[in-house]
Amino acid sequence: MLKDRIAIVTGAARGIGAATAALLAQHGAKVALSDIDAQVAQTVVDEINAAGGEAANLPCDVSKPAQVDQLVADVVARWGKLDILVNNAGICPRIPVEDMTEEWFDRITNINMKSVFFLSRAAAEAMKPHGFGRIVNVSSTGGRVGGVHNATVYSATKAGVLSMTKSLARHYAPWNILINAVAPGAVDTRMFEAVPPDKLAAYVETVPLKRMAAPMEIAQGILPFCTPEMTWVTGATLDVNGGVVMM
Ligand SMILES: NC(=O)c1ccc[n+]([C@@H]2O[C@H](COP(=O)([O-])OP(=O)(O)OC[C@H]3O[C@@H](n4cnc5c(N)ncnc54)[C@H](O)[C@@H]3O)[C@@H](O)[C@H]2O)c1
């Protein structure tokens, strides 16, 4: 399905990003895994390559526009083009409204939202000459309905990602670059470690499927948006959330 396609997945050292990189590679894509944690990312790269896929470790801090420009340039230099970008890297520090600082506000915004603009632009500029591109942005149910458990700023950035998905989808449509988003509910990754077990249990009780997702279940929602077969969907958001929010 993705044979000869070149992909970047950010935040690919663990969690949803690692699962997505593995799934895209399994379907034939050559995948650049990009994370600030290069050491852990290398273990995922090694696993993908050992399974017969083709992956490379290209570390980058997505909050730095110069680094994301370089990431795209490195991928094009290595594999000749770029077809797919999954903007997945993100952080969700649990900070009560009363304790939020300007430094944390800026950090959350830069990693979760500013990154999506600058990396999508860099990627789309590389995709334009080929008249083909697929960009998938990882938002959150928090971006749909506002966040719970001390995630006010996080949720605002994820709503920003949804708005940007639509604007950029319109902007890049003339070059056949399709841009969509997924909005996951609670996923069993490091991100949820900071949520107290009683709060998590109460949340899970509200999920119709009565459990958290595994990272691969989110990757399975991302995959269709990356394929050349998906040709008439852009600016859309897929809720991958066990039914907890139905828009
Ligand atoms: N886990 C959930 O319940 C959940 C729910 C909704 C949305 N999401 C979103 O899914 C995405 C992945 O989250 P996850 O749960 O897999 O989290 P995770 O913490 O397991 O993985 C996130 C990865 O992003 C990397 N990262 C952080 N800052 C970075 C930076 N500046 N540059 C590059 N990489 C950076 C981390 O090193 C880490 O490997 C995030 O955007 C998150 O907001 C997660």
Give 90 Cα–ligand 1 centroid separation in angstroms: 4
Cα gap 144→237, rounded to integer Å: 10
Q: Residue 125: which region, alpha, beta or left (left: phi > 0; alpha: psi -120 to 50)?
A: alpha
Per residue in 145-169, is it b (16+ CB within 10 Å) or e — as a string? eebbbbbbbbbbbbbbbbebbbebb
Backbone angles phi, psi at 91, to 5 degrees: -130, 155
Which residue is closest in CA terms to ligand 1's atom 8? 140
Cα gap 193→129, rounded to integer Å: 43
In this structure, is residue 163 part of a structural domain? yes
Average pLDDT of the residues in 10-34: 98
Statement: residue 194 has pLDDT above 90: no
Distance of CA 88 to the CA centre of its chain: 2
Q: Do residues 28 and 39 lie in contact, with contact meaning Cβ atoms separated by under 8 Å?
A: no
Q: Could you tell me the pLDDT band of residue 195, with boundaries at 50, 70 and 90?
A: confident
Q: What order do you get walking across the sheet with 84-87 strand by strand?
A: 54-57, 30-34, 6-10, 84-87, 133-138, 177-184, 237-240
Cα gap 85→83, rounded to integer Å: 7
Q: Which residue among the candidates 79, 118, 154, 225 is catalytic per the annotation? A: 154
In this structure, is residue 131 part of a structural domain? yes
> Closest ligand 1 atom to the C-alpha of 14?
39
Statement: residue 244 has pLDDT above 90: yes
> DSSP 3-state assignment of 191?
helix
Work out the mean pLDDT of the chain and round it to a whole number.
97
In this structure, is residue 150 part of a structural domain? yes
> DSSP 3-state assignment of 228?
coil
In this structure, is residue 245 part of a structural domain? no
Task: Specify the number of domains making up the chain.
Answer: 1
Statement: residue 61 has pLDDT above 90: yes
Please give the pLDDT value at position 192: 81
In this structure, is residue 111 part of a structural domain? yes
Please give the pLDDT value at position 148: 80
In this structure, is residue 246 part of a structural domain? no
User: The domain that contains 38 carries what CATH number?
Assistant: 3.40.50.720
Domain that holds residue 58: 6-240
Write out the E strands in the chain: 6-10, 30-34, 54-57, 84-87, 133-138, 177-184, 237-240
Q: Could you tell me the pLDDT band of residue 51, with boundaries at 50, 70 and 90?
A: very high
Which residue is closest in CA terms to ligand 1's atom 43? 90
Known catalytic membership, residue 154: yes
In this structure, is residue 247 part of a structural domain? no
Q: Is the CB of 191 under 6 A from ligand 1?
A: yes
Query: 10-14, 61-65, 195-199, 242-246 — which is least confidently predicted?
Result: 195-199
pLDDT tens for residues 69-109? 999 999 999 999 999 999 999 999 999 999 999 999 999 99
pLDDT tens for residues 160-186? 999 999 999 999 999 999 999 999 999
